[in-house]
Structure 1
Amino acid sequence: MLKISLSPRQEDRTIALAGLCGGLLLTSFGAYDRTAAPAWVTLLPLAGMAGLELLRRTRTIWAVSLGGLFFAANLVAGSNLATVVMYTDLLYAGVLYGSRRMSTILHVTGGASTLALSTVALTYGTVGRALLVAGFAALVFVVPVFTADLLREHRERADTERLRAEQTALLAELDRREAVVEERARMARELHDVVANHLSAIAIHATGAQSLARRQQRGADDPLLAAMAVIRENSVQGLAEMRRMIGLLRARDETSYEAPNLDALDTLLAQVGAAGTAAGLVFEAAEDGERGGLSVPVELAAYRIVQESLTNALKYAAPGTVRLGLTYCPERVEIAVDSPYRTSGGASLPGARYGLVGMGERAGLLGGSFEAGPDGERWRVRAVLPRESETVQEANVTRTREGS
Structure 2
Amino acid sequence: MWSVPLRRTQLDDVRLTALFFAVGAALQIAGLNQVSGLLSDRFGSWLPWVTLTVAAAFQLLRRDRPAAALAGTTAVLTVDVVLCPTVAVWIIFSDIVYAVACYGSQRLVGRLYVLCAIVSAAVVVLLAAAEQPTQWRTVFVGILWVIALIFSPLAYGHALREHRTAAEVQRQHARTLATLADHERVEAVEEERRRLARDLHDVIAGQLSSIAVQSAAALDNPALSDRVLGSVRTISVEALREMRAMIDLLTDGTVDRSRATSTLRRADRLIEPVTGSGTDVELRCTPEVLDPPLPPLVDITAHHILAEALINATKHAPGQPISIDIDIAGDDLVLVVTNPLTDPPAEAEPAHTARGITNMTTRAAVAGGTLAAGPGDGAFTVTATLPLRTAGHPTDSAKEYP
Q: Give the TM interval when normalised to the shorter protein.
A: 0.3 to 0.5
TM-score computed with the length of structure 1 as normaliser: 0.46
Which structure has more relative contact order (CA 8 Å, sep 6+)? It is: 2
TM-score computed with the length of structure 2 as normaliser: 0.46
